[in-house]
């Protein structure tokens, strides 16, 4: 169904674009009259909608204790004639982490939690297969510097299913994992840290996490339109979500690691929450100050912080353009599920907050739209915000020192690998191994030690940090008409050490890289089954690989590869080790906490004499079948005995039928396609076939 090589193409594209950014100028005012706040909000929402291809966008601006402005663009549904009212809800994704941070800091204010003591004090059952876990403190969970691999969200992202067993099982999952970095070495985005923080809140308070949030955050702040999956609320209030151009709405989007990313809210409720963080409603002044501290600066980080990331406690960014360049503190958090996207910005000194939410789209666009609202609100208060796009540092083309040619080699992140060639004539050629269809880019050496594109709009440089690692640093600033400036200033990749392996081992992994694998351990309601279809056809050419590596993982032997890249920010997030095993002639791959089966080892679907059945075995694994000549061009009818569902794909990998998404009970079958039955152990699928 989906080869490992294809899995991260969308994430890689974002990095590719950031390195080849063509920067347009902001749209000019057509007249001398300044826009109204309402006009600014409408145009910013429309821009976020159009840039992200969203179905709907909802926004709200809070100031001095009240919602000053709210509204929306787009449609609630592609098929229902229903207004996008202010009480419509959206998933806020990782903005949920701010609620978790507030909960932890409230407990710290009471003296029940200390940020700088080990997590094991509050979760004594927390264990890992790496003795360094004992050094992880509560603070490190909140500033992303724990050293944990990343996201134990397997089985947590579901459709219309509030099953939170992924959270219940996290400690067991972590017990077999190691750390990728020393605790505190640097900050790299990590969902599991906030799920651990959720568990700390529950252990210390003695309450279920959402019970605590309702009692100590939602009620004091007067937030009546914030919920979690499984809460008692009308799910029809959720803005409809879609897959691509399919006009059929998807079932309820449930991210069941609530403390890391599972809350729903209206834009007004989220803006009210942001406003509550400008006074003592939820936290003391000292706790709010601690949240806004430069936590990223405790470890390895680029010197230039003009970027979308500069971590505080919970906050993605505590130094956000253009506010920080004007002496205005702006605290920013973005959130993305697979279906919803959110941006929250708080200006504590001016008692302002703005929230922008969307179905489809992107949290980055939503954050920029929120910044537009706040910039205009400040202007109307007589506070001018200079939005001049900063230029790259002054420098001139120059002769390159010969020793820089030694920096040629392979560089990588979790999702992208590059071949970098620095030639004696001062040219840096960057080739994208993951996307070989992308043309190589050429940068020229400048007098400040950077390499710049031909338009002098983006630059790369090499930085050797205190840990001895060499990083490929990128900087670019792009203006998006109608939204503002998107700054990039980060370590895009780290040099990948040479790893020589025997040729037979390399050949084995090359075969694995070209093999499609099917997930076995996802629940039948998992959004992974739809994501497989949405990623089908992304790879045009076969990606190349770094010798001695499987993607970003260093090959250890024919059966195992380890993720070891030391990369701050988001480039190093969500790494995982890979292991391969053969059993009864079938090939299995474990990547992180998920088990996969090689597609070629899935059996052919058996039709019998017009009927057959498939039963979920005691291991609970999903059962995949290839559609061969015997079953091709039949219509399959399915009756489920027990809890389960099925998904059917055509030969190109696109989803054609789903009992989970559309309540289907029948499916036309095409030769070369796939069928998967998943559910509770013992569930049985009774199948009949007609031609």
pLDDT for the residue numbered 152: 79
pLDDT tens-digit map of 210-260: 999 999 999 999 999 999 999 999 999 999 999 999 999 999 999 999 999
pLDDT for the residue numbered 391: 87
Question: For residues 592 and 579, what is the distance between their CA atoms, to the nearest angstrom?
Answer: 9
pLDDT for the residue numbered 543: 82
**Residue 389: count of CB within 10 angstroms of its CB:** 15
Cα separations in angstroms, 552 against 417, 421, 498, 569? 7, 19, 12, 16
Alpha carbon dihedral 413, 471, 300, 457, in 10-degree steps, equals: -90
Retrieve residue 394's tokens: 């002054």
pLDDT for the residue numbered 20: 31
Would you say residue 355 has pLDDT above 50?
A: yes
β-pairing verdict for 253-255 and 427-432: unpaired
Task: Please count the CA atoms within 13 angstroms of the CA of 316 that sit on its side-chain side.
Answer: 26
pLDDT tens-digit map of 540-561: 567 889 999 999 999 999 999 9
pLDDT tens-digit map of 84-131: 999 999 999 999 999 999 999 999 999 999 999 999 999 999 999 999
Would you say residue 21 has pLDDT above 70?
A: no
CB distance 627 to 615 below 8 Å: no
Would you say residue 515 has pLDDT above 60?
A: yes
Looking at per-residue pLDDT, the higher value among 422 and 539 belongs to 422
Looking at per-residue pLDDT, the higher value among 1 and 123 belongs to 123
Closest to 214 measured CA to CA, from 157, 274, 263: 263
Would you say residue 361 has pLDDT above 60?
A: yes
Q: What is the mean pLDDT of the chain?
A: 93
Retrieve residue 283's tokens: 């936290």
CB distance 409 to 499 below 8 Å: no
Retrieve residue 505's tokens: 């081992």
Which residues lie closer than 8 Å to 198 by C-beta, 6 or more apart? Answer: 100, 167, 209, 257, 258, 259, 260
Mean local confidence (pLDDT), 294-323 = 96
Would you say residue 25 has pLDDT above 50?
A: no
Would you say residue 24 has pLDDT above 50?
A: no
Opening angle at CA 295, ends 459 and 300, nearest 5: 45
pLDDT for the residue numbered 389: 82
Would you say residue 8 has pLDDT above 80?
A: no
Mean local confidence (pLDDT), 459-471 = 98
Mean local confidence (pLDDT), 662-690 = 97
In residues, how long is the chain? 691
Would you say residue 408 has pLDDT above 90?
A: yes
Would you say residue 291 has pLDDT above 90?
A: yes
pLDDT tens-digit map of 167-220: 999 999 999 999 999 999 999 999 999 999 999 999 999 999 999 999 999 999
**What residue ranges in 395-551 does DSSP mark as E strands?**
409-412, 417-422, 427-432, 441-445, 451-452, 458-464, 470-480, 484-495, 516-519, 549-550
Which residues lie closer than 8 Å to 604 by C-beta, 6 or more apart? Answer: 625, 626, 627, 628, 630, 631
Opening angle at CA 107, ends 102 and 109, nearest 5: 90
Q: What is the pTM of this model?
A: 0.95
Would you say residue 5 has pLDDT above 90?
A: no
Domains of the chain in sequence order: 27-380 (3.40.710.10), 611-690 (2.60.120)
Looking at per-residue pLDDT, the higher value among 5 and 373 belongs to 373
| pLDDT confidence tier of residue 7, bands split at 50, 70 and 90 | very low
Would you say residue 614 has pLDDT above 60?
A: yes
CB distance 158 to 525 below 8 Å: yes
pLDDT for the residue numbered 609: 87
| pLDDT confidence tier of residue 34, bands split at 50, 70 and 90 | confident
Mean local confidence (pLDDT), 486-498 = 96
């Amino acid at each position: 169904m989906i080869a490992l090589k294809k899995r991260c193409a969308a994430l890689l594209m974002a990095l590719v674009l950031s390195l080849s950014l063509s920067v347009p100028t902001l749209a000019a005012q057509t007249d001398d009259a300044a826009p109204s706040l309402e006009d600014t909000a409408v145009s910013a929402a429309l821009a976020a909608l159009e840039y992200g291809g969203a179905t709907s966008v909802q926004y709200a601006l809070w100031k001095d204790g009240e919602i000053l402005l709210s509204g929306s663009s787009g449609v609630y549904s592609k098929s229902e004639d229903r207004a996008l009212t202010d009480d419509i809800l959206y998933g806020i994704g990782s903005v949920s982490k701010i609620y978790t941070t507030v909960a932890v800091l409230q407990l710290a204010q009471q003296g029940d939690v200390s940020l700088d003591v080990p997590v094991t004090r509050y979760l004594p059952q927390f264990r890992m297969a790496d003795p360094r876990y004992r050094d992880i403190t509560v603070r490190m969970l909140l500033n992303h510097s724990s050293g944990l691999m990343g996201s134990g969200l397997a089985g947590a992202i579901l459709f219309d299913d509030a099953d939170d067993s992924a959270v219940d099982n996290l400690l067991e999952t972590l017990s077999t994992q190691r750390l990728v970095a020393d605790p505190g070495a640097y900050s790299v985005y990590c969902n599991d840290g906030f799920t651990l923080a959720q568990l700390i809140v529950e252990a210390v308070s003695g309450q279920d996490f959402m019970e605590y949030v309702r009692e100590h955050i939602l009620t004091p702040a007067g937030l009546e339109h914030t919920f979690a999956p499984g809460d008692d609320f009308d799910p029809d209030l959720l803005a409809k979500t879609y897959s691509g151009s399919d006009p059929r709405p998807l079932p309820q989007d449930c991210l069941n690691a609530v403390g890391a990313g599972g809350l729903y809210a209206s834009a007004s409720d989220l803006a009210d929450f942001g406003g509550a963080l400008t006074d003592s409603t939820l936290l003391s002044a000292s706790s709010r100050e601690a949240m806004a501290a430069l936590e990223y600066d405790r470890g390895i980080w680029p010197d230039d912080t003009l970027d979308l990331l500069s971590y505080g406690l919970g906050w993605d960014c505590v130094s956000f353009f253009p506010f920080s360049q004007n002496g205005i503190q702006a605290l920013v958090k973005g959130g993305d599920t697979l279906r919803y996207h959110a941006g929250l910005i708080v200006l504590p000194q001016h008692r302002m907050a703005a929230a922008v939410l969307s179905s489809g789209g992107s949290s980055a666009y939503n954050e920029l739209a929120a910044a537009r609202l706040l910039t205009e609100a400040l202007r109307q208060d007589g506070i001018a915000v200079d939005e001049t796009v900063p230029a790259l540092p002054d420098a001139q083309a120059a002769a390159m020192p010969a020793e820089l040619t030694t920096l040629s080699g392979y560089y990588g992140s979790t999702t992208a690998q590059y071949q970098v060639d620095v030639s004696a004539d001062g040219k840096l050629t960057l080739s994208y191994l993951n996307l070989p269809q992308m043309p190589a880019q050429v940068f020229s050496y400048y007098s400040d030690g950077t390499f710049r594109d031909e338009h002098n709009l983006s630059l790369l440089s090499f930085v050797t940090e205190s840990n001895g690692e060499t990083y490929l640093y990128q900087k670019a600033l792009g203006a998006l008409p109608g939204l503002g400036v998107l700054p990039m200033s980060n370590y895009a990749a780290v040099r990948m050490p040479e790893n020589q392996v025997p040729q037979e081992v390399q050949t084995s992994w090359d075969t694995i890289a070209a093999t499609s694998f099917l997930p076995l351990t996802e629940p039948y309601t998992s959004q992974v089954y739809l994501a497989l279809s949405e990623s089908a056809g992304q790879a045009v050419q076969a990606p190349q690989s770094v010798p001695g590596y499987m993607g970003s993982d260093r090959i250890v032997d024919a059966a195992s590869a380890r993720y070891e890249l030391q990369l701050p920010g988001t480039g190093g997030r969500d790494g995982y080790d890979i292991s391969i095993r053969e059993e009864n002639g079938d090939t299995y791959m474990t990547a992180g906490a998920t088990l996969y089966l090689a597609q070629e080892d899935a059996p052919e679907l058996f039709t019998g004499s017009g009927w057959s059945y498939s039963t979920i075995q005691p291991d609970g694994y999903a059962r995949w079948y290839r559609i061969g000549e015997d079953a091709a061009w039949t219509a399959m009818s399915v009756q489920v005995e027990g809890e389960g569902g099925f998904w059917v794909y055509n030969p190109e990998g696109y989803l054609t039928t789903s009992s989970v998404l559309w309540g289907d009970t029948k499916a036309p079958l095409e030769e070369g396609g796939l069928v998967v039955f998943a559910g509770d152990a013992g569930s049985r699928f009774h199948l009949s076939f007609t031609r």
